[in-house]
Amino acid sequence: MNVLVTGGCGFIGANFVHQQRRLYPTDRLVILDALTYCGNLHNLEGLNHDPGLSFVRGDICDADLVAQLFRDERFDAVVHFAAESHVDRSILGPMPFVRTNVIGTTTLLEAARKAQTAKFLHVSTDEVYGTLAPSDPAFTEQTPLSPRSPYAASKAASDHLALAYAHTYGMPVVVTRCSNNYGPYQFPEKLLPLMILSALEDKPLPVYGDGMQVRDWIYVEDHCAGIDAALRIGQPGEVYNFGGRAERPNLDMVHAILELVDKPRSLIRFVADRPGHDRRYAVDCAKAERALGWRARWTLTDGLRETVRWYREHPAWCHSVRSGEYRTFYERNYTMRPDTASEVAQCG
């Protein structure tokens, strides 16, 4: 297949690209990424000489660029990761989330519709469902959407648009929604990498509120396997939930990290909770297991151990991201330009 991967330099997108190159080395992947603060070409380390991989620095809201890519490349499928995704940032400034997640998604859908692309896979989040009480059953694909942050609302809007294109135009759209991911290449503003790197340096670990917000955790490799299954055999117009069946309070996750790096719990600092912080998320992934033959393979214990190992063994990546040096590399080498895909160079 010839596949467009938007946001392929981000955390989940980059892990998906690595997995696809291992599984389908004869496929062609074109990565479209604006390289905002969380997009990092170094996330594609080891792939800079892969002839089946191409990169375009560009904005998914740029209708002319997107239309040209679809005309020139004739994609068989789109896997759409590109999004603004950090809740705290959406609270401080919602407009970039509306622009990228709503307008950008619509721009891609319209280009794919006109090009009659065979499959459009829209990657979303369990946060569109809202929050759960402690005794509530997990979210299913039939749970009404009830987003409670600007980020979640923008993703819910993009989900509705994607499914509307499936219904109105008969487009082969599939939507996936996933619980909290963790693993390699995750930007360190997120909970687990922030805690890992802070603990390794004996710095305070800031925990929101009482730390008892419950999330379902899934290792990123399992999520990417689910996306691949949905891409290959998912049915148009359908939604599939992916989760790790591993609900844990945030504080328990922090305790587990401290134990793995042999640091004391006295490093924990409880800080004021963020506005509107959802208390619990959990997803029922039985539909994906039944319809796609997918299963989460990583236990939470093994996934956390592997994640800590990765951050420990990649100090250069961690330093580059935390210092901002990674941005000077692509500002020097990649400008925003309206040309078609150019070969990835020096991304490792």
Residue of 59, 129, 151, 247 marked active site: 151
pLDDT at 334 over 90: no
Q: Is 343 a catalytic residue?
A: no
The answer to whether residues 145 and 128 touch, using CB atoms and an 8 Å cutoff, is: yes
Give the phi and the psi of residue 9 in degrees, each rounded to 5. Answer: -100, 0
Residue of 33, 59, 73, 127 marked active site: 127
pLDDT tens, 110-137?
999 999 999 999 999 999 999 999 999 9
pLDDT tens, 179-208?
999 999 999 888 999 999 999 999 999 999
Q: How far apart are CA 239 and CA 293, in angstroms?
A: 15
Task: Return the pLDDT at 233.
Answer: 98
Q: Is 127 a catalytic residue?
A: yes
Residue 174, H or E segment: strand 173-178
Confidence of residue 89 (pLDDT cuts 50, 70, 90): confident
What number is the average pLDDT over the span 259-274? Answer: 96
Residue of 33, 73, 84, 126 marked active site: 126
Angle at which helix 315-323 crosses helix 300-313, to 10 degrees, equals 80
Across-strand partners of 56? 32
Task: Return the pLDDT at 188.
Answer: 87
Q: Is 331 a catalytic residue?
A: no
Instruction: Give me the chain's average pLDDT, please.
Output: 93
pLDDT tens, 315-333?
999 999 988 887 776 555 5
pTM for this model (two decimals): 0.93
Task: Return the pLDDT at 338.
Answer: 42
Number of helices and strands in the chain (H, E): 13, 13
pLDDT tens, 280-296?
999 999 999 999 999 99
CATH number for the domain whose boundaries are 2-181+220-244+282-296+325-343: 3.40.50.720
